[in-house]
Structure 1
Amino acid sequence: MIEFSHVSVTYDGADRPVLRDVDLTVEEGELCLVAGRTGVGKSTLLGAINGLVPHFTGGTLAGRVKVAGLDTATHPPRELASVVGMVGQDPLAGFVTDTVEEELAYAMEQLAVAPEVMRKRVEETLDLLGIADLRHRPLRTLSGGQQQRVAIGAVLTAHPSVLVLDEPTSALDPTAAEEVLAAITRLVHDLGTTVVVAEHRMERVAQYADRLLYLPGDGTVVSGQPAEVFAEADVAPPIVELGRLAGWSPLPLSVRDARRLARPLRERLAERRPAQAAESSGEAVLTARAVRVRYGGVHAVRGVDLRLNRGEVVALMGRNGSGKSSLLWALQGSGPRSDGKVDILGADPKTLRSRTARTRVGLVPQTPSDLLYLDSVGAECRQADVESGVDAGTARKLLDRLVPGIDDDTNPRDLSEGQRLALVLAVQLAAAPPVVLLDEPTRGLDYPAKRHFATVLAELAAEGHGVLLATHDVEFVASAAHRVVVLAEGEVVADGSTADVVVASPAFAPQVAKILAPEPWLTVDQVAKALA
Structure 2
Amino acid sequence: MIRFENVTVTYREAARPVLSGVDLHVPEGELCLVVGRTGSGKSTLLRAVNGLVPHFTGGTLAGRVLVDGRDTRTHPPRELADVVGVVAQDPQAGFVTDSVEEELAYSMESLALPNAVMRKRVEETLDLLGLAELRNRPLAALSGGQQQRVAVGAALTAHPKVLVLDEPTSALDPGAAEDVLAALHRLVHDVGMTVLIAEHRLERVAQYADRVVWLPGDGGAPVAGAPGPVLARAPVAPPVVRLARLAGWEPVPVSIRDARRLAGPLRDRLDDRPDVPRSPGATVLTARDLRVRHSSVDALRGVSLTVGEGERVAVMGRNGAGKSSLLWAVQGTGKRSGGEVAVDGVDPASLKPGPRRAAVGLVPQQPADLLYLHTVRGECEQADRESGRPGGTCRELLDRLAPGVPDDRHPRDLSEGQRLALVLAVALTPRPRVVLLDEPTRGLDYPAKTRLAGALRDLADDGHAVVLATHDVEFVAEYATRVVVLADGEVVADGPTAEVVTASPVFSPQVAKVLAPRRWLTVADVADALEEGR
**How does the TM-score come out when normalised to structure 2?**
0.97
* RMSD (CA atoms): 1.4
Q: In 1, distance between residues paired with 2:260 and 2:396?
A: 46
Task: Tell me by how many angstroms 1:400 deviates.
Answer: 4.5
Matched, 1:4 2:4: yes
Task: Describe how 1:131-170 pairs up with structure 2 within 5 A.
Answer: 131-170=131-170
Deviation track 1:170-221 (CA, whole Å, cap 9, x = no partner) reads: 0000000000011101100111000000000010010010011111113421
Aligned to 1:241: 242
Cα pair 2:273 2:518 within 8 Å, conserved:
no
Cα pair 1:86 1:164 within 8 Å, conserved:
yes
Identity, in percent, stands at 69
Cα pair 1:215 1:221 within 8 Å, conserved:
yes
Aligned to 2:504: 505
Cα pair 1:502 1:509 within 8 Å, conserved:
yes
Residues 406 and 82 (structure 1 numbering): CA distance in 2 closer, same or farther, change over 3 Å? closer
Cα pair 1:41 1:219 within 8 Å, conserved:
no
Matched, 1:100 2:100: yes
Q: In 2, distance between residues paired with 1:229 and 1:397?
A: 34
Comparing 217-226 with 483-492, which one deviates more in the overlay? Answer: 217-226
Task: Tell me by how many angstroms 1:146 deviates.
Answer: 0.6
Aligned to 2:43: 43
Cα pair 1:316 1:324 within 8 Å, conserved:
yes
Residues 286 and 329 (structure 1 numbering): CA distance in 2 closer, same or farther, change over 3 Å? same
Aligned to 1:427: 426
Aligned to 1:283: 282
DSSP-derived class of the 1:469 partner: strand
Aligned to 2:228: 227
Q: Which amino acid aligns with 1:231?
A: A
**Where does the alignment leave 5 or more consecutive residues of structure 1 unmatched?**
none
Aligned to 1:20: 20
Matched, 1:492 2:485: no
Task: Tell me by how many angstroms 1:397 deviates.
Answer: 4.4
Comparing 219-228 with 287-296, which one deviates more in the overlay? Answer: 219-228
Task: Tell me by how many angstroms 1:23 deviates.
Answer: 1.2
Q: Which amino acid aligns with 2:231?
A: F
Task: Describe how 1:195-214 pairs up with structure 2 within 5 A.
Answer: 195-214=195-214
Q: Which amino acid aligns with 2:268?
A: E
Comparing 380-389 with 470-479, which one deviates more in the overlay? Answer: 380-389
Cα pair 2:39 2:417 within 8 Å, conserved:
no
Q: Which amino acid aligns with 2:267?
A: R
Residues 402 and 212 (structure 1 numbering): CA distance in 2 closer, same or farther, change over 3 Å? closer
Aligned to 2:452: 453
Aligned to 2:29: 29
Q: Which amino acid aligns with 1:171?
A: A
Aligned to 1:529: 528
Comparing 325-334 with 402-411, which one deviates more in the overlay? Answer: 402-411
Cα pair 2:362 2:427 within 8 Å, conserved:
yes
Q: In 1, distance between residues paired with 2:81 and 2:320?
A: 31
Residues 201 and 58 (structure 1 numbering): CA distance in 2 closer, same or farther, change over 3 Å? same
Matched, 1:369 2:368: yes
Q: In 1, distance between residues paired with 2:73 and 2:408?
A: 34
Task: Describe how 1:51-66 pairs up with structure 2 within 5 A.
Answer: 51-66=51-66
Task: Describe how 1:42-441 pairs up with structure 2 within 5 A.
Answer: 42-217=42-217, 218-269=219-270, 272-441=271-440
Task: Tell me by how many angstroms 1:57 deviates.
Answer: 1.1
Residues 9 and 107 (structure 1 numbering): CA distance in 2 closer, same or farther, change over 3 Å? same
Q: In 1, distance between residues paired with 2:23 and 2:455?
A: 39
Q: In 1, distance between residues paired with 2:465 and 2:220?
A: 41
Cα pair 1:17 1:219 within 8 Å, conserved:
no
Cα pair 2:29 2:188 within 8 Å, conserved:
yes
Deviation track 1:65-100 (CA, whole Å, cap 9, x = no partner) reads: 111111111111111100010100000000001111
Aligned pair count reads 530
Q: In 1, distance between residues paired with 2:404 and 2:40?
A: 17
Q: Which amino acid aligns with 1:370?
A: D
Comparing 150-159 with 420-429, which one deviates more in the overlay? Answer: 420-429
Residues 411 and 115 (structure 1 numbering): CA distance in 2 closer, same or farther, change over 3 Å? same
Q: In 1, distance between residues paired with 2:236 and 2:50?
A: 26
Q: In 2, distance between residues paired with 1:62 and 1:195?
A: 24
Q: In 1, distance between residues paired with 2:31 and 2:316?
A: 29
Q: Which amino acid aligns with 2:526?
A: V
Aligned to 1:470: 469
Cα pair 1:375 1:412 within 8 Å, conserved:
yes
DSSP-derived class of the 1:5 partner: strand
Cα pair 1:362 1:429 within 8 Å, conserved:
yes
Q: Which amino acid aligns with 1:5?
A: E
Q: In 1, distance between residues paired with 2:321 and 2:331?
A: 18
Cα pair 2:280 2:311 within 8 Å, conserved:
no
Q: Which amino acid aligns with 1:19?
A: L
Task: Tell me by how many angstroms 1:64 deviates.
Answer: 1.3
Cα pair 1:494 1:501 within 8 Å, conserved:
yes
Q: In 2, distance between residues paired with 1:170 and 1:194?
A: 21
Deviation track 1:106-125 (CA, whole Å, cap 9, x = no partner) reads: 11111110111111111111
Q: Which amino acid aligns with 1:516?
A: L
Q: In 1, distance between residues paired with 2:74 and 2:416?
A: 32
Cα pair 1:40 1:219 within 8 Å, conserved:
no
Residues 58 and 274 (structure 1 numbering): CA distance in 2 closer, same or farther, change over 3 Å? same
Task: Tell me by how many angstroms 1:273 deviates.
Answer: 3.9
DSSP-derived class of the 1:423 partner: helix
Cα pair 1:301 1:491 within 8 Å, conserved:
yes
Q: In 2, distance between residues paired with 1:394 and 1:206?
A: 38
Q: Which amino acid aligns with 2:92?
A: L
